[in-house]
Amino acid sequence: MNGVTREDALLDYPVRRTRAIVDLDALDYNLTLLSARASGAGLVPAVKADGYGHGAAAIAAACERWGATMLAVANLEEYLYLRDHGVTVPVLILEEVFPDEVEAALHEGARLTVGSVEHAELLSRAAGTLGTTAMIHVNLDTGMGRMGLFAADLVEPLLHIAALPNMTMEGVYSHFPASDETDVSFAREQVVQTRQVADALAEAGVAVRYVHIANSGALIQFPDEVSWDLVRPGVAMYGMYPSDEVPKVGLRPVMRLESSLVKVTRYDRKWTVGYGRSWDVGPGSVIGIVPIGYGDGFPRLLSSRGSALVHGVRVPIAGRVSMDMIALDLTDLPEAPQVDDEVVLLGRQEWFSPDARTEARSDEIDALELAELCNTITYEITCGFTIRVPRLYVRDGQVVAIQSMREGYRVL
């Protein structure tokens, strides 16, 4: 992807070398795989947090094209962003909207989460004033301990909510705090509680169209028990696993983070590299500089710990990650590196030497590896990449859209 590429020509300026390639074909593949595990239940892909850092507008459009039943976001701002970018599929807001957001949310037709009787009554009154109907999904707290009505006390409050005017209880749902662990006994208790509430509503004559609880961990570990009306895949649809405790099911990574060498120095003396002078070099050392840093969301915790791929070989990050640059120790590369050689920070790199006598090489750095080095989770890795990193969206080998600091999101 280096040099003047198709997207450069269309945009009339070079796209920054540090870029994220988002594979929409891999996204489609993962959605299809998860749908098969869900036995045909409707998919509600989570596109909150800018599509887990992949770019919400493009990811939402791809999910709508694939056939998602609904999308899920965290808040009203994310909902309006999708509507502003032409997304028409129903969207569920997972947080309760604030009172001053209620009118806009109802006017724009959002599916709204309700976690208390008081909030339901607020929505009912506002919908009456606006002459509309609030489409709500009631959040059941079966163990997450954040928002929602306690499942043990639910039938009477739910019947009250269902009877409120100007309101349709379209859905009832809950959320797992621990479906990605080896021991899923607590998660299974949550399944039973949620199902009991849904059955009690049905017995009371309250028709709820959608009952849902499944997230990525549940779809991977016990799909048959949670594939109800809807399932809500998040991290898995992006080709990442929620933890290292869940089995691998063949997901394909959607994001590849790449850059290029902007400078290569062959040292003829003892020297140090970077802030804090924490990496020593000597005669014969080769150091390459890459224009990426924590200003791009590349974790500083990878200082002197992480790796990058150059010529299909892992090379260490030399010294500290700074705001705009990292250094790589290229001394042991079999071939001499050059300015503009590709560097892969996340994803797979395949390298074919110009020398036909040298065998091709490949390696991969995945989000779980980076997360473990940073003592965090895969979600935080991709969510952390900032607006300074352009996202290039690829389908069938062609760049079809771009999200960048300069232009925002644009279909090419």
- For the chain, which residues make up each domain, given as ranges? 24-238, 255-365
In whole angstroms, what is the distance from residue 71 CA to residue 110 CA?
A: 11
The CA distance from 386 to 404, in Å, is 10
CA 34/CA 188 separation, integer angstroms? 20
Report the pLDDT value the prediction gives residue 152, as an integer from 0 to 100.
64
How much is the pLDDT for 193? 93
Q: Just list the catalytic residues.
A: 48, 275
Q: Is 160 in contact with 193 (CB distance < 8 Å)?
A: no
CA distance 281 to 287: 9
Q: List, for the chain, all residue ranges whose pLDDT scores fall below the cut of 50.
A: 1-4
What is the residue whose two structure tokens read 């790589």? 328
pLDDT at 2: 45
Other residues' Cβ atoms within 10 Å of the Cβ of residue 367: 24
Collapsing DSSP to helix, strand or coil, 107 comes out as: helix
DSSP state of 28: H
For 81, 214, 245, the CA distances from 180, given in Å and listed in that order, are: 30, 11, 7
The structural architecture, per CATH, of the domain 255-365 is Beta Barrel (2.40)
- What are 191-217's pLDDT values in tens digits? 999 999 999 999 999 999 999 999 999
Q: Which fold has domain 24-238?
A: TIM Barrel (3.20.20)
Q: What is the pTM of this model?
A: 0.94
Question: How many angstroms separate the CA atoms of 319 and 275, rounded?
Answer: 8
Establish whether domains 24-238 and 255-365 are of one fold. no
The CA distance from 273 to 109, in Å, is: 55
Tokens of 407: 């232009």
Distance of alpha carbon 89 from alpha carbon 110, whole angstroms: 10
* Residue in this structure with the two tokens 């887990």, named with its chain if needed: 52
Q: What pLDDT, on a 0 to 100 scale, did the predictor assign at position 13?
A: 77
- Spatial CA neighbour of 110 closest among 56, 70, 148: 70
Q: What is the pLDDT of residue 176?
A: 96
